[in-house]
Structure 1
Amino acid sequence: MQPTPVRLTGEFDPSAACRGGCARCGREHVLPVGPARAPALDLFERLTREKRIDFEAAEPDPRFSTDYLFGEAGGQMFGVLAARDRSGATVVLKAFSGQYNSVWDVDGWAPPLLDTARFRADTFEAEQRIKAMGREIAGMPHGSPARDLLIYRRRQASAALMQEIHAMYRLPNFRGETVPLPLAVHPAGNPPTGTGDCCAPKLLGWVATHGLTPLGLAEFYFGRTNRSGSKEHGRFYPSCLDKCGRILGFMLCGLEGA
């Protein structure tokens, strides 16, 4: 059951919808909410009204019902970016964070920043090995040297896999540059799991590679409150600093001269 519809609200600096330090130039780059707020309100109302995200489909796909967002999986962030095309017209794009009910690509929504077919092919075996280690660990006596060693090996294998996955992401900016995700991270170091999967990176990646100039960004949460209680249905939020903030500076670099 979905809750009673609410009005989208939020309390944050409208001049800084997303921001981040830049690994390329060392400066902080910022994108405001700007003209994205009104279409974000429209998207929220449409999700509430139609109760699905596959707006382009003639027949609704049960996988894309918004009921999913109020179940055990919890809600997700949705983002809207307003941009100017080469003719000077304003266009609006939308994105959801991560995967939607285990699906990366949905018609009408910004795609991920990696080749999902390559991702599935190149990570399958490693993921299976890590899962097998987990099952073996579960059957071993707690505190045994063999169990501790296997836990260490699984941790090392997981870290190696995450580095391989991050290297698959290609992040463009507004200077015409594209680099693997690890080279865009600021400050340098291993970024958290899920870096690059949020709405803002997806949207900025698409517009940067299609000759558009971002004018504003707005993101809101839709669905069941997350486990930590930090995200609630019907509220605007700025882009996260711990993940998005590590790469958005690079992705926004060059926008000042666009």
Structure 2
Amino acid sequence: MTYFEPQPAPAEVPLRLTDPFAPSPPHALARRAAEELQRLLRHGGLASGLDLGALDAPGQGKMFGVLVVAAPDGRVGYLRGFSGMLDGRWEVDGFAPPLFDSIARDAFLPAGEAELRALGERHAELTGGEGALELRARLAEMTERHGAAIAGMRARHEANRGLRHDARQRLANGEAGDDERRAALHTLGQESRADAAERQQLEAAHQQEREVLVSALRALDTQRTGIEHQRAERSRQLWRQIAESYVIPNARGESRPLGALFAPEPPPGGAGDCAAPKLLAQAYRHGLRPLALAEFWWGAPPLTGGRLAGVYYPACRSKCGGVLPYMLEGLPVALEPLPGAAPGPVDEPRIVYEDAWLLVVDKPRGLLSIPGRHESSRDSVLVRLRRRDPEASGLLVVHALEPETSGLLLLSKDPETHAALQRQFARREADRRFVAWLDGHVARDEGVIELPLRTDREDRRRQLVDPLHGKRAITEWRVTQRSGSRTRVSLWPRTWLTHQLRVHAAHPLGLGAPVTGDRLYGGDDTHLLLHSEALTFIHPHTGARLELESPAPF
């Protein structure tokens, strides 16, 4: 552990650990520790022989972390950690070690990796080895030779067909007797049948010759498929063994293997290797009390983007979501509400339109559209409407609004109406308009943004722009007001992906100005100024065109 010098005053020491999944800025002490680590990463001074140059290679950056802790004697310091491996090493002096049992891991991992390598080499041999390449070359040569033979035969047969056609014309125009004509036509027919027989015989001979090579290649494919299945199964078995070698402790002094925290599904790759779990385990191992955590990215950004050197990020839900909640058991933690959930009472949703088939409400900011998985998030528009009318159990949200977003929310009262309304939006026969204030000056007056999005695997609350793997996302926009450094816009989502409007607003290739109050994609932690202000659609049962509006409260 590295102690702070000078020691912080009691008022500067947090009473309890903050929520590691919260996007809030790190505590001042954690930031101080992180800045010291960043200085060492930038200028050296870490473990001898450590080469950090690889972190600047494309896609090779990684997450680092610090955990502020209190020793039993009351002194305050911090631990350092990194995700995965650093400079090809699991263990580096001055950093928290990995969570797996090295002895147990060494008992099976080298042999398992050797087996996978052998299977991979055999697969490569069957795919591109000398024998496979020779068979494919012979088949290509044979195909070319057969094609030339068939082409030559067809040309000859076409010439024969022309001669027979001319002969038949002469017979039709000549003065030959009936017997002579019949005999000549019979001979021409035999010649035609002979050509057909020759074609069939040649094709059969080619097929028989080709089948020898095709059968050999098919046998290689069967072997290759078998090895692929064998390798996949062995890889799954090995990963299960690896997961069992990770010992995950918590603040109560208990421990469980990694696999048990994700059962019945296998743990995701890299689970348990992030900086935060390593740091907490190191603290428990030495009787240190965790006080504040900070994790930041260092080095080149990932190939898919979404991480910048020196920027702080919360713990990832994909890998740490199943690990950290267990590790924090027995430790006082200042948990924040889930993203978008209001900290206090929220107004009731106001009914804007209702009939026998559908319902439109004006959703207040801070209220979920549908119940969350966590008990603290059960409050939602659906729960409140069903509580108000017990017969409304069949209500379905057509398109949920994010908790932070206010405005018009469309619900159906039966599955048929729900499907019909969704079809209208998918075909762009229905429309919705949002209004937002953006932090920044948007130079143009209107346009269309098309940036594909996917979930950030490191932090599943966020969406990333990914031209290769992202889903198509389209937003039309128009500036309606400019005021100082802010811009008010109207937004028309033509697709409906999570956080689409927020990412399209914040991204440099979009509007380059985040929605005011957007903690995930901007920097402001005030209220999100994004409102669903208009809905237009055809009533699925009456055929009437409905145009509903709700003025923004900002």
- TM bin, normalised by shorter chain, reads 0.7 to 0.9
Is 1:173 matched up with 2:256? no
The higher-RCO structure (CA 8 Å, 6+ apart) is: 1
The correspondence of residues 117-156 of structure 1 with structure 2, limited to 5 A, is: 117-141=103-127, 144-156=221-233
Separation in structure 1 between the aligned mates of residue 81 and residue 242 of structure 2, nearest angstrom:
21
Shift of 1:173: 0.3
Mark the CA change 1:108 to 1:162 in structure 2 (over 3 Å): closer, same or farther: same
* Partner residue, 1:74: 60
RMSD of Structure 2 on Structure 1 (CA): 2.4
Separation in structure 2 between the aligned mates of residue 137 and residue 123 of structure 1, nearest angstrom:
21
TM-score, normalized by length of structure 2?
Answer: 0.38
Cα shift readout 1:189-222 (whole Å, capped 9, x = no counterpart): 2111111111000000111222211111001111
Separation in structure 1 between the aligned mates of residue 290 and residue 24 of structure 2, nearest angstrom:
8
Confirm or deny: 8 A CA contact 1:81 1:217 kept in the other structure.
yes
| Structure 1 counterpart of 2:30, one-letter code | A
Q: Percent identity?
A: 35
Structure 1 unaligned runs (5+)? 1-13, 20-29, 55-59
Stretch deviating more after TM superposition (129-138 or 112-121): 112-121
Separation in structure 2 between the aligned mates of residue 224 and residue 36 of structure 1, nearest angstrom:
23
Confirm or deny: 8 A CA contact 1:196 1:244 kept in the other structure.
yes
* Partner residue, 2:70: 84
1:33 counterpart (26, 48, 70) = 26
Structure 2 unaligned runs (5+)? 1-16, 128-216, 334-554
Look up the SS of the partner of 2:251 in the other structure.
Answer: coil
Mark the CA change 1:183 to 1:237 in structure 2 (over 3 Å): closer, same or farther: same
Cα shift readout 1:23-52 (whole Å, capped 9, x = no counterpart): xxxxxxx998333122112211221122x6
Separation in structure 1 between the aligned mates of residue 73 and residue 91 of structure 2, nearest angstrom:
28
Larger radius of gyration: 2
Confirm or deny: 8 A CA contact 2:46 2:94 kept in the other structure.
no
Stretch deviating more after TM superposition (230-239 or 156-165): 230-239
* Partner residue, 1:193: 269
* Partner residue, 2:298: 222
Separation in structure 1 between the aligned mates of residue 85 and residue 18 of structure 2, nearest angstrom:
28
Is 1:157 matched up with 2:234? yes
Mark the CA change 1:189 to 1:46 in structure 2 (over 3 Å): closer, same or farther: same
Separation in structure 2 between the aligned mates of residue 127 and residue 73 of structure 1, nearest angstrom:
24
Stretch deviating more after TM superposition (30-39 or 105-114): 30-39
Shift of 1:17: 2.8
1:17 counterpart (16, 20, 36) = 20
Separation in structure 2 between the aligned mates of residue 213 and residue 184 of structure 1, nearest angstrom:
23
* Partner residue, 1:212: 288
TM-score, normalized by length of structure 1?
Answer: 0.80
Stretch deviating more after TM superposition (198-207 or 84-93): 84-93
Confirm or deny: 8 A CA contact 1:172 1:251 kept in the other structure.
yes
Cα shift readout 1:53-92 (whole Å, capped 9, x = no counterpart): 31xxxxx41xx12212113561111100001222222121
Separation in structure 1 between the aligned mates of residue 256 and residue 296 of structure 2, nearest angstrom:
28
